[in-house]
Structure 1
């Protein structure tokens, strides 16, 4: 089946480049292009595309407002196309939190526009076409606000893995973490360039302090450590005085950093004093690691299908018998707090 794509970008040159990159794929058709939000809105109504690529750094429009309207009024998988500016990174992080399924960088590491992206955009479009957006997730009253100022935790650390749709899910989950939560580590599959901005956006809504992980950083209660991405896996080490290990390596389960690597180190370091949470994402990264945590006696949770953007990673873990609990995203924090208290 042909995947129908709408491109929204204020640059005629960029519209032409994106169209060329997608049109050479036999299973993808660019049905229309738009130069601004108003055109994009009308073309979405006219063509009902399977996927929209959206540049949110367009003059004369608020890309985030436009994205929120798409997600609310006509839920459609959206890929954010971002330039190499700091503002673009911040907007992309917020867009992912609003429900955009992934992000695509116009530029290479040097900040230039590459002649060929080696099929990267086409691969994102194929993944996005499999998304099922069912509107906004319901957000229950915040558990963090209901909790006492100090919670007596027995859990030594929490590890979270997520991929496609994960930034939005993390916003919902971390909103309910109290300020004195156990040390929490996150591996989210995302372009390394956007990781700092995503960490900052999560910090704005979380009572605990969300920071970008650094090598050999000691784990502290009330802190959430977001993997910086790039070419390093994130592990935990040091049973008596646990710390973060960021080390180069080959992809594991197709990813670098890998959720499987983080979860396996949690099983080895904390045993039954850890919690593993596997959220929405394509593929199976994290399933084997969550099983290792479960076999070590840890409490393990997988997000349920109804609230996942993509049920791939949780489905794989559930099939292995790795999940102690399968729960909607809005109640996962409740399970964690009950177990940890």
Structure 2
């Protein structure tokens, strides 16, 4: 933690009081939460930054899409449109946001929509002729105006919320006690070799309530790079690679490429970065300065949907959530909630 962040600690205390007061008012129903008949699964976190929400949403889509009509509702961070919008053939990363556009491109049989007002978004979905059977709310753990039917809280293995501080000293959006609203806690980005004993110790540290279950997942990278063409990762060992990232935490990807003996130059940009002409000029200059004519530009899937029309020979590496253990238990909890809620509604 930087000295500057430590100096801001009094503001963290104030921010904690404000968010705790807000949560308390929701808990005692002074502030209103709306509950919907349609099953709603909230995926979110307590902290800012990347905890793996996108691959977790994609995991839920794959789990449910064969049995239910699935909708994903996001606020569409940094989009250039307003209000409620359903993704269609005219959608772009600029119009609906990079993550929703990624969902739309990957999954043909789901509804992808955006609305900063989640209540309005759900009402609009419920009014559709082909209305969804289940709605996945992306990054809505702090959106208390909607009472989610099932809450999944994510926390990164190397940045557990239990060890963090409130903004601006740390990265927490609300106090650790907010974790009590979760039905499931998922520790993401774990080493794939995490032992049962280590999982047990981490679960004790998180100190879940009696009704909560803790799961552990790792990142699974696809060895086939997609985009301009399909290339196996092993084929670029002797290739000049320029890696571009505009995500919160690129460290796991950097480590993975190093483990695969991929030599690369890295241009790091802020999360959800909007690439401008100066950025594109810098990228092209880096590629032009490679000694070898055999070179590619590599990026993440989330970045790819923003810049695939702007950079030549661009490829992306996709990721999936992989449960280290108890995958079936997780799946059953989700399916049981959706089945039960569908019957009740």
Q: TM-score, normalised by structure 2?
A: 0.32
Q: Which structure has the bigger radius of gyration?
A: 2
Q: TM-score, normalised by structure 1?
A: 0.32
